[in-house]
Structure 1
Amino acid sequence: MQDVFNTVFGIHDQTLTWWQMSARAIGVFFAALLIIRIGSHRIFGKNTAFDIILGIIYGSVLSRAITGNAPFWPTLAAALTLVLLHKALAVLAYHTNFGFGNFIKGRPQLLVKNGKLQEEALRANSVTKNDLLEALRSTGAVKDLDLIDEAYLERSGNISIILKKSDDKEK
């Protein structure tokens, strides 16, 4: 069995043929799919720094298994460890109330309050008035900052906008 594995997937210290690298790519693809299923769909569904970091490292680790720059099984074990660490930290962040979740996942930043720009928050997050106007245009609702009740820079980097109620607009 070991000889068949070595023939199909190659050995770590040898130069891999195109078909061995292709076989590794197929094996890593299905292993990665299984590992992600063990972890969480949110890993690539949300774009918080917490999730992006795992995606980058995960891809880097798995690429080493495909190219033969690292041993096949230990590399898959490292990828599984990363996904399980991500899942454990997400569960811990969910169940703790002492700010760990904010540290791991970040927290939204208030950029506009009652139509007024929060200049310090804008500066701290490198968000320009043009960025806000772009987000406002993407809602398709209004074009005027005065009509915004609140706007937040979300943990994902998106800007969400809450418009004033009709009663508030008339005041």
Structure 2
Amino acid sequence: MFTGFVRTVILYLVLIVGIRLMGKRQVGELEPSELVLSLVIADLAAVPMQDFGIPLLAGVIPILTLLSLTMILSVLTMKHVGFRALLCGRPSVIIRRGKLDQGEMRRNRLTVDELMEELRCQGYPDPSVVWYAILETNGQLSVLPKAQEQPPTLAQLGQNPTESGLPLVLISDGHVLEHNLTARGVDRNWLDKEVRRQGCSDPSAVFLMTLDETGGVYLSPKQEE
């Protein structure tokens, strides 16, 4: 039992390190080659976890080999456009200048129902308002509406708003993040006063507190369980 536990933990940690090495983009958006890699690695890790007669290295070495190969392919796709197109494919323009390209739909085996579903997910239930729709290599549909359907920007309305910048979390579930206090140029005295001004007794009573670059504060107190 203990041996199985140790083997499982080791393989799990190897997979976590491997996924981290693949980068954040791959975790959220898998290219075809990355999807295949994930499926193969999952299968390689499952066998040594269940069969104690198989040496642990028999599972670890193939996983590390595949991860190394993936890193090499990632570098090649970054440096060579042609290789990237060969490995990952090219985006397909499904709607071009307001007109549906049925040939591209057939080549990508995209049905009308799937297209309508993707458009609805993007907030465009009516395809007549779409100027461009591009099927990306990761399977997501990027939609560019017609000019008259796009919401006006503040610049178009003649407004010049001030950039608030990126809010930093100062308190997370009652814990003060000292490095973010330093990054925003404030100290604990300021924090304690602001927390009391917002109606909380002390930082431990705060669930979330953020501060942006213009001094804007957001505070959410803890709720009673």
Q: TM-score, normalised by structure 1?
A: 0.78
- By how many angstroms is 1:37 displaced? 3.2
RMSD: 2.0
2:48 equivalent in structure 1: 65
Which structure ranks higher in relative contact order (CA pairs < 8 Å, sequence separation ≥ 6)? 1
Structure 1 letter corresponding to 2:71: K
Report if the CA contact (8 A) 2:19-2:27 is conserved: no
Q: Does 1:105 pair with 2:85?
A: no
- Determine the C-alpha separation between the residues in 2 that align with 1:167 and 1:132: 19
1:3 equivalent in structure 2: none
Report if the CA contact (8 A) 1:44-1:51 is conserved: no
Q: Does 1:125 pair with 2:112?
A: no
Q: Secondary structure at the match of 1:112?
A: strand
Match 2:31 to one of 48, 54, 69 = 48
Q: Does 1:85 pair with 2:85?
A: no
1:157 equivalent in structure 2: 139
String of CA shifts for 1:118-156, please: whole Å, max 9, x gaps: 01111111112222221221122x332221111111111
Structure 2 letter corresponding to 1:118: D
Unaligned runs of 5+ in 1: 1-17
- Determine the C-alpha separation between the residues in 1 that align with 2:126 and 2:22: 43
- By how many angstroms is 1:64 displaced? 2.1
Alignment of 1:15-54 (within 5 A): 18-54=1-37
- Determine the C-alpha separation between the residues in 1 that align with 2:70 and 2:84: 12
- Determine the C-alpha separation between the residues in 1 that align with 2:18 and 2:122: 36
Structure with the larger helix share: 1
- By how many angstroms is 1:54 displaced? 0.5
- Determine the C-alpha separation between the residues in 2 that align with 1:90 and 1:153: 21
String of CA shifts for 1:70-110, please: whole Å, max 9, x gaps: 3212321210110110111011011013x110111121111
1:145 equivalent in structure 2: 127
Greater shift in the superposed pair: 62-71 or 47-56: 62-71
Q: Secondary structure at the match of 1:92?
A: helix
Count of matched residue positions in the alignment of Structure 1 and Structure 2: 149
Report if the CA contact (8 A) 2:92-2:135 is conserved: yes
- By how many angstroms is 1:19 displaced? 3.6
Q: Secondary structure at the match of 2:144?
A: strand
Report if the CA contact (8 A) 2:129-2:145 is conserved: yes
Q: Does 1:75 pair with 2:42?
A: no
- Determine the C-alpha separation between the residues in 2 that align with 1:34 and 1:47: 17
Greater shift in the superposed pair: 117-126 or 23-32: 23-32
Sequence identity, in percent?
25
| Higher gyration radius (CA) | 2
- By how many angstroms is 1:115 displaced? 1.7
Match 1:96 to one of 80, 88, 91 = 80
Structure with the larger strand share: 2
Unaligned runs of 5+ in 2: 151-225
